[in-house]
């Protein structure tokens, strides 16, 4: 079967992160593809009900191919967004983010003349923040010479050499219910209090430093004629450097109620450290050299606001290059797509990257310790 056929097989198996049974079915499809291509059965690792897959060849890993097989698309999305290839454009739920990348990783591994030191880790909960796979990722990456992340490319096929760090918070307010018409003065309005908290956190962003603090999902109250006794808001924080993450984290934890009789509780924290440019520079330079030798167009790089599991490995000081997956666009959107003509080119580049680093060892010294990755700060 071809690379394209294998991508179709995986895309047709829907795997929304929240549906653990669907993710388990998808894992079996990935396992079957890997078994055929690699001649080896993966290790199935189930944590928190989520199925992850790992292949190891020849002892301790020195190169890690990292990807995920869960998607943001709910079951049934194939009915409205069917798999199709028209005029060189492949479409289907999760094709770009990142089922094509998973298949590319397996094909690149299959093409290795010697897989000794190669590890492949395909997780099942990246789209929800990797709560059950983070420790597994960090354990697998520790001591590696390189981590190649098969997330989709940035615009125009650019590799992702810098990513913002992410922090995720939940602000919850306890108030006191009362009848909104008869005796509203006896209540403590959690809805008004959460509004004060939203305004407070929204002022923590810093446009000049690229730090965004965005209140997102919001809930308050139960009925139209009742003073809300509870309210909550989720907050998404993105920053280019750890100092900014820590500044915002400290400020959020100092939030206090404005209204008498209400209580504010904070959950969450720093999720992923930034993927900084120095973590990827040497591997990007190597990729540029190999692309030229392969006759490919010159590579470009991009800094992006979205985070990936590569943030975890870069935060440990392990050399990490991201965005090596499919070229296309529309991640998480109706126009999600992959450019078919780029699939063999990118897979060839990945194949050479893996082969070169496995053969050369580690010319890229780590710059941080494992303790700097933010482990446990969920």
Q: Which residues form the catalytic set?
A: 70, 126
Residues 238 and 205: beta-carbon distance below 8 Å? no
Give residues with Cβ within 8 angstroms of 171, minimum separation 6: 194, 197, 201, 232, 233, 234, 235, 252, 255, 264, 265, 266
Q: How far is it, in rounded angstroms, from Cα 218 to Cα 215?
A: 8
* Per-residue DSSP letter, 247: H
Q: How far is it, in rounded angstroms, from Cα 245 to Cα 269?
A: 9
DSSP code per residue over 134-147 = HHHHHHHHTT-SEE
Q: How far is it, in rounded angstroms, from Cα 346 to Cα 349?
A: 5
DSSP code per residue over 22-67 = HHHHHHHHHHHHHHHHHS-PPEEEEETTEEEEEEEESSS-SEEEEE
Give residues with Cβ within 8 angstroms of 197, minimum separation 6: 171, 173, 233, 255, 264
Q: What is the token pair recorded at 178?
A: 């009362």
Measured from the Cβ of residue 92, the count of other Cβ atoms closer than 10 Å reads: 26
Query: H or E stretch including 218?
Result: strand 212-220
Q: How far is it, in rounded angstroms, from Cα 54 to Cα 47?
A: 13
């Amino acid at each position: 079967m071809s690379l394209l056929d294998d991508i179709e097989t995986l895309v047709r198996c829907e795997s929304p992160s929240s549906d653990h049974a669907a993710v388990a079915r998808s894992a079996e499809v990935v396992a079957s593809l890997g078994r055929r291509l690699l001649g080896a059965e993966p290790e199935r690792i189930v944590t928190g009900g989520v199925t992850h897959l790992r292949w190891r060849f020849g002892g301790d890993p020195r190169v890690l191919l990292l990807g995920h097989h869960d998607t943001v698309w709910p079951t049934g999305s194939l009915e409205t967004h069917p798999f199709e290839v028209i005029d060189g454009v492949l479409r289907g739920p999760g094709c770009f983010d990142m089922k094509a990348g998973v298949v590319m990783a397996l094909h690149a591994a299959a093409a290795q003349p010697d897989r000794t030191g190669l590890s492949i880790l395909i997780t099942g909960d990246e789209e929800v923040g990797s709560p059950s796979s983070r420790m597994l990722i960090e354990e697998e990456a520790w001591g590696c010479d390189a981590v190649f992340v098969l997330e989709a490319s940035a615009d125009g096929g650019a590799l992702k050499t810098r990513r913002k760090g992410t922090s995720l918070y939940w602000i919850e307010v306890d108030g006191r219910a009362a009848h909104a018409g008869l005796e509203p003065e006896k209540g403590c309005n959690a809805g008004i209090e959460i509004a004060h908290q939203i305004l407070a956190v929204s002022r923590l962003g810093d446009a000049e430093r690229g730090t965004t603090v965005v209140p997102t999902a919001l809930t308050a109250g139960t009925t139209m004629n009742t003073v809300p006794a509870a309210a909550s808001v989720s907050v998404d924080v993105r920053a280019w450097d750890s100092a900014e993450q820590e500044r915002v984290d400290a400020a959020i934890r100092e939030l206090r109620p404005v209204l008498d009789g209400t209580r504010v509780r904070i959950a969450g924290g720093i999720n992923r450290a930034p993927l900084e440019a120095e973590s990827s520079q040497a591997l990007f330079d190597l990729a540029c050299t190999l692309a030229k030798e392969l006759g490919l167009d010159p590579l470009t790089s991009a800094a992006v606001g979205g985070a990936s599991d590569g943030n975890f490995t870069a935060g440990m000081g392990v050399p990490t290059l991201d965005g090596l997956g499919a070229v296309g666009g529309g991640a998480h959107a109706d126009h999600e797509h992959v450019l078919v003509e780029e699939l063999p080119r990118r897979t060839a580049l990945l194949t050479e990257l893996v082969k070169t680093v496995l053969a050369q060892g580690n010319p890229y010294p780590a710059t941080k310790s494992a303790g700097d990755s933010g482990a446990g700060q969920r």
